Amino acid sequence: MSLPWIQHLILAPVLLPLLCGAFLLTINETRHSLKFWLNASAMLLQVVIAVSLLILVDGDYWEANIGVYLAANWQAPFGIAFLVDRLSAMMLLLTSLLGSCALLYSMMRWSRIGVHYHSLFQFLMMGLNGAFLTHDLFNLFVFFEVMLAASYGLLLHGYNLARIRAGMQFIAVNLVAALLFLIGLALIYASADTLNMSDLAARLPYLSESNLDLFRIGAGALAIAFLVKSAMWPLGFWLPTTYSAASPPVAAMLVLMTKVGVYVIFRLWLLLFANDDPSVAGFGNYLLFCGGVITIGFGAFGMLASNTLGQLASYGAIISSGTLLAVLGLSNPALIAPALFYFVSSTLGMAAFVLLIELTERSNDPLAALLAVTRQAFEYEDVPEQPVGVGIPAGMAFLGLSFAACSLIIAGLPPLSGFIAKFSLFHQLLTHPLSVDSLLFMFSVLFAGIMATIALMRFGVRTFWGSGTISARLHLSEALSVIVLIAMGFALTILAGSIFGYMERSSTDLQNPALYIERVLAEPMIPSGGKP
Amino acid sequence: MELVLAIAIGVLFGSGVWLVLRPRTFQLLTGLLLMSYAVNLFIFAVGLIWVDHPPLVLEPDEIDTSNYADPVPQALVLTAIVIGFATTALYLVLMIGSRGITGSDHVDGKE
């Protein structure tokens, strides 16, 4: 007997980039376009796989809408289980779409300034996809390291001084975080004798008090490792330097990598600590909430203090991480679906913004923008000569409109998806009895929104309405990738109803750990004839 | 034996933390190495320390698990060693590159 081939589709998002990346290594670096098109077709194939997994998961192909793949046909708690549910299928789709756009952006220029860009890109995709699919904590560590190793290479791609300085910090911070991750894993294994996430959730209620203490310490160490990646306030100082130094397509992927930390925290916290068992229920939620709110504040002030668009984008990403962590910390089940919508919307908005930055700065002397902001800060009166009768070139019009659309999504202003996400969060908070925490949360999100609006408007006005701009030289591929990302933001707005339905369903799944425990531990092995 | 191991892990990790907080890249690298040794020993110790207990089941039937050490931490520690080694090697390459470009071995690339 063998598995139906559709079952193997669960592993395809890991295997395909691995094989493609390895194959790309063998092709000579001078054959740019061949490498690009191979990479692009692998990315498109990943989009197709992600869409089909999404359809399968949301349809009724698998029992309870959870697909389980037992690696090497080992029964669940012993071998490594891969699991695809609505949340991970959504993340796979988001990753492959974002990756495709970043790759398209790098077609003309960025993929050519160093070696092995395409292989590293595929290995990064492998790490990301694996982190979304795996249901084993140690395997998660392995995929995190694959992802990080590829991202170190990509961050240093186009070796210059700024990237080396940023890389030194980024790698050191992540190596220390990886060690903490390992300590957390070891403590969890010591206390619960398992690393399978569902098995862990099943065993938690039966742990003795001393083992439970060990488990709490382990979960805390693990959380610190993830929070370093998702840049919660005291742990996220590496982020602005790294984002500003990375080349734009890599920065777009880094936006997603920040969200991987948030994803893992969502997955683990909802699976392990959302059950009714009072011994561990709500573990660390209050810390997550406080950290999230402080992170929002830190990001808001950071945005105001930013001198460059790169820093502005970094602090925007910090705000969005903080919002998600604070929502999880509020431990209100009704908030998970809007939070997932916010997750997707802010990731797309930030990625488009990061790509846009470089296009804007290319057409605009970055020093002029910096001077403009400084001049404003010191109220230095210098009326620039007004250009009379100059029409708006198409390139600038495109950049200006895209900048406005990204700003609307990031700041959460109507009518785009950022507004819908925040509105639905607030709506859920207001329909429940109000507490001090929820008021604090709403206040900080609104405050961050206003700060983001001010900071973005200041840059927008100085960049697009100021004098001295030269016409932008854009490649079609670069413009197209920004357009696609923003179009997805529009699609989120227009199709908000059906997408929200999906988020609601995935939030219901996520808040039923018993479902995962049953599906993973009861997944049958494929009987073989005794011989391999 | 547990005490010796615990002290060794503590000393390694403590020295590692101190070195990681130093300003020179080589100190940072040595610190990361010491910390990863400590973590590897820690994972190994999680499976409890046994003498004369192989991690393999040799008898075909009648398995008494108390005669065998837990094989999982040993597998974990092997993977962790390999990954830690690779990422540290990557950092070493970056360190040499940074030294070449900036002419300084300070972590910020300038004194």
Touching check for A169 and chain B: CB below 8 Å?
A: yes
Instruction: For residue B74, tell me if it sits in a domain.
Output: yes
pTM: 0.91
DSSP A192-204: HS--BHHHHHHHG
Domain locations along chain A? 278-378+394-467+487-510
Q: Which residue has the tokens 């962590």?
A: A325
Buried b (16+ CB within 10 A) or exposed e, A466-475: eeebeebebe
Print pLDDT tens along chain A (532 aa): 567 788 889 999 999 999 999 999 998 888 888 999 999 999 999 999 999 999 999 888 888 888 888 888 888 788 889 999 999 999 999 999 999 999 999 888 788 887 889 999 999 999 999 999 999 999 999 999 999 999 998 988 877 888 888 888 889 999 999 999 999 999 999 998 889 999 988 888 888 888 888 999 999 999 999 999 988 888 888 888 888 888 889 999 999 999 999 999 999 998 888 766 667 777 888 889 999 999 999 999 999 998 888 889 999 999 999 999 999 988 888 889 999 999 999 999 999 999 988 888 776 655 555 555 555 555 555 544 444 444 557 777 888 888 889 989 888 888 888 899 999 999 999 988 888 889 999 999 999 999 999 999 988 888 777 655 555 667 888 888 999 999 999 999 999 889 999 999 999 888 888 888 888 888 887 776 554 4
Nearest-CA neighbor of A211 among A180, A188, A182, A194? A188
Q: Collapse the DSSP code of A307 into the 3-class scheme (helix H, G, I; strand E, B; otherwise coil) and give the result.
A: coil
Residues of B with CB under 8 A from a CB of A: 20, 25, 28, 32, 35-36, 39, 42-43, 46, 72-73, 76, 79-80, 83-84, 86-88, 90-91, 94-95, 97-98, 101-102, 107-109
Residue B78 falls inside a structural domain = yes
Distance CA A520, CA B5 (A): 37
Q: Say if B42 falls within a structural domain.
A: yes
Question: CA angle at residue A487 from A484 to A493, to 5 degrees?
Answer: 150
Contact A65, A318 (CB under 8 A): no
Q: List the structure tokens of A322.
A: 């903080």
- Domains in chain B: how many in total? 1
Tell me whether the omega of the peptide bond preceding residue A415 falls within 30 degrees of 0, making it cis: yes
Q: Is residue B109 part of a domain?
A: no
Can you give the CATH number for the domain in which B12 is found? 1.10.287.3510
Question: Residue A157 region, left (φ>0) first, then alpha (ψ -120 to 50), else beta?
Answer: beta
Structural domain span for residue B93: 2-50+69-102
| Cα A312 to chain centroid, rounded | 17
Picking from A142, A143, A159, A171 by the largest number of B CB atoms within 10 A of its own CB, the best residue to mutate is: A171
Question: What number of other Cβ atoms are within 10 A of residue A218's Cβ?
Answer: 22
Give the span between the Cα atoms of B16 and B23, in whole angstroms. 13
Chain B hits for A224, CB-CB cut-off 8 Å, are: none
- C-alpha A98 chain-centroid distance: 10
For residue B106, the SS3 value is: strand
Judge contact between A428 and A334, C-beta under 8 A. yes
The answer to whether B20 contacts A183, with C-beta atoms less than 8 Å apart, is: no
Residue at B27 is within a domain: yes
Q: Yes or no: say if A506 and A87 are a contact pair by the CB < 8 Å rule.
A: yes
Report helix, strand or coil for A134: strand
| Chain A CB contacts of B94 below 8 Å | 152, 156, 164, 167-168, 171
Rounded Cα–Cα distance for residues A486 and A477 (Å): 14
Whether chain B has a CB inside 8 Å of the CB on A179: the answer is yes
Verify whether the Cβ–Cβ distance B86 to A186 is below 8 Å: no
Q: What's the gap in Å between the CA of B16 and the closest CA on chain A?
A: 10
Query: Measured between alpha carbons, how far is A363 from A366 in angstroms, rounded to an integer?
Result: 9
Task: Output the 3-class SS for A45-101.
Answer: HHHHHHHHHHHHHHCCCCHHHCEEEEHHHCCCCCCCEEEECHHHHHHHHHHHHHHHH
Comparing C-alpha atoms, which of A375, A194, A221 is closest to residue B72? A194
Contact A168 B87 (CB under 8 A): no
